[in-house]
Chains A and B, each alone.
Chain A
Amino acid sequence: MIERPRLQFRLGHCLLLMTLLAVWLADYKLRSETARMSDALKSYSTIASFLVVENRSKLQVLEEPQLWNHEQVWQVYVPQPTPLELLCVQRRGQAQGSAADDFRTPLAPGRHRIVFRHEIPQTRRTGVPAFAGVYLIVDEQEHELSLRQLDENEMPAPMQLSQNLRGSTKSQAATEPLELLSAGPTDGVTWKIWIQPADAQHAGD
């Protein structure tokens, strides 16, 4: 009769010990698998760029190496729970006044892909109308920021896209504004794109 409580005591502890081991073993497996995938992603970087989130509490941006002269692509990670927004501002020179067509869109926590494109014709044929357009694509959603029909035989110059981050990843506190692009003046317009807390004033002005 003395043996029974001893047995119960050991079984309970055994179960708890097994649970403890299982939990930590699962955590170890999870972490080693995460590290393995992160390393594999880094080894692919010569083929394609992927934002590997190192710190989930920071705002992180990977500027993809430029594939096209007319396009700049960023991969963005927005941490919980900070509400952020993406702003794109175009400013005309003094000659045309200061008309502003600002574009802003909220960025929910998680991953985003942002593409800025300045499309100009590479070749012109007489009699065929041609256009110069600026587009911002946020998570596959395209926004036309400017579109202008070109004069006959007009060949606009390509926009010099800045490559602020030189194809690297930037990580910073989400409370600070992060500039993605500052370009122009092209056609008398300068362009600025940045990420900032949703309630902040225009940090780029």
Chain B
Amino acid sequence: MNRFLGRAWLPLMLAGILWGGIALYRDSAAYREVKSVYDRVASEITRFSPGDDPDRIYVRCMVNKPLHLKWQIASPAAAHLIGVRQGLGGSGRATIQGAQEVICRFAVDLGHGQAYQQWQLAGSGSSGGIEWELASFLKRHWDELQISVAGEDETQAFDSLQVIDLLRIEFPSSLLRTAEQELSTPLYQQLQSPVLLCLGISDSPGWQEVSGLNDMTRRFMNGVR
């Protein structure tokens, strides 16, 4: 018995190693395949780690590329939220009825002589065009824009009574001077108020303190309260 085992072990083990080698080769191809996607995703998407305090709203910007931003928002108390947007040729608002997890998005798409914009607050959103001259002006001067994004570096916890600026794009006066020369008057006037995407509960006193709102947005705000 011992002698038989002594003889059989060697081919058995060699076969096992060979088989393992083949499995390793095949599985490593599958591994590389998934890893290549995973590495790209890990650099594009961040981690959302909200808490569970009902007096807080947690915000994390999950996708932050030029002209495409996406936030994940958690409201443990499932508050009724209002989202307001302003800028790039219009204003609007959306109501989010008591959801605990909300996704918001702002995106601009530059095509061939056409530009598109899209705002999304939870399920409801709006999309439309932006004047090509305005869109390409902003693209050219992207580095001069003062852009602040909520939850950019980590999951941010806000007081649930606060109105959160998910996105605020301000135009510095030096850029406005350039815009006055390069753009037509109606387009230049669109840069007089910041591009905004705000979120807060409907009866928050914070709505009165949001800065940079233009008349059109204020009319929407009056609809809010």
Cα–Cα, bound, A52→B72 (Å): 23
The answer on a CB contact under 8 Å between A52 and B23 is no
Provide the bound-state CA to CA distance between A26 and B103, in Å.
Answer: 40
Contact B31 A33 (CB under 8 A): yes
Report if A23-B127 is in contact (Cβ < 8 Å); known contacts: A48-B63, A51-B37, A133-B112: no
Rounded to whole angstroms, the CA-CA distance of A133 and B119 in the bound complex is 24
When A119-B114, A131-B113 are in contact, do A16 and B23 touch as well, CB less than 8 Å?
Answer: no
On whether the beta carbons of B38 and A20 are closer than 8 Å, the reply is no
B114 touches A23 (CB 8 A): no
B98 an interface residue at 8 Å Cβ cutoff? no
Is the CB of B9 closer than 8 A to any CB of chain A?
yes
CB contact between A67 and one of B13, B103, B118, B129 (< 8 Å): that residue: B118
Min Cβ gap A113→B in Å is: 11
B112 near A135 with CB under 8 A, answer: yes
Measured in the bound complex, the distance between the Cα atoms of B116 and A123 in whole Å is: 10
> Which residues of B143-194 have CB atoms within 8 Å of chain A's CB atoms?
none
Assess A47 versus B72: contact at CB under 8 Å? Given A34-B31, A52-B34, A69-B127: yes
Known: A48-B41, A52-B37, A67-B107. A20 touches B31 (CB 8 A): no
The chain B residue with its CB closest to the CB of A144 is: B112
Q: CB distance A34 to B24 under 8 Å?
A: no
B30 touches A34 (CB 8 A): yes
By a CB distance below 8 angstroms, the chain A residues around B216 are: none
Contacts A30-B31, A122-B129; is A68 near B116 (CB within 8 Å)?
yes
How far, in Å, is B125 (CB) from chain A's closest CB?
11
What CA separation (Å) do A20 and B18 show in the bound complex?
A: 9
Mostly helix, strand, loop or mixed at chain A's interface? mixed
Determine the distance from Cα of A68 to Cα of B111 in the docked complex, in whole angstroms.
Answer: 12
Tell me whether A47 and B62 are in contact (CB under 8 A): yes
Is there a chain A Cβ closer than 8 Å to B33's Cβ? yes
Residue among B10, B24, B33 making CB contact with A16, cutoff 8 Å: B10
Scan A101-123; emit 1 where CB is below 8 A from any B CB, else 0.
Answer: 00000000001000001011111
CA distance A34 to B28 in the complex (A): 9
A2 contacts chain B at the CB level, 8 A cutoff: no
Cβ-defined partner of B23 (8 Å) among A27, A69, A119:
A27
In the assembled complex, which residues on chain B have CB atoms less than 8 Å from the CB atom of A23? Answer: 17, 20-21, 24
Which 8 A-B pairs give the minimum distances between C-beta atoms? A122-B129, A23-B20, A37-B38, A119-B111, A16-B13, A27-B24, A34-B31, A37-B34
**Known A111-B36, A122-B116, A122-B128; further 16 A-B contacts with Cβ < 8 A:** A19-B17, A20-B16, A23-B20, A23-B21, A31-B31, A34-B30, A37-B34, A44-B45, A48-B41, A52-B34, A56-B33, A67-B118, A122-B129, A123-B131, A131-B112, A131-B113
* 14 A-B residue pairs with CB within 8 Å: A13-B10, A20-B13, A20-B16, A20-B17, A41-B34, A47-B103, A48-B44, A53-B34, A68-B109, A117-B111, A119-B112, A120-B114, A122-B114, A133-B111
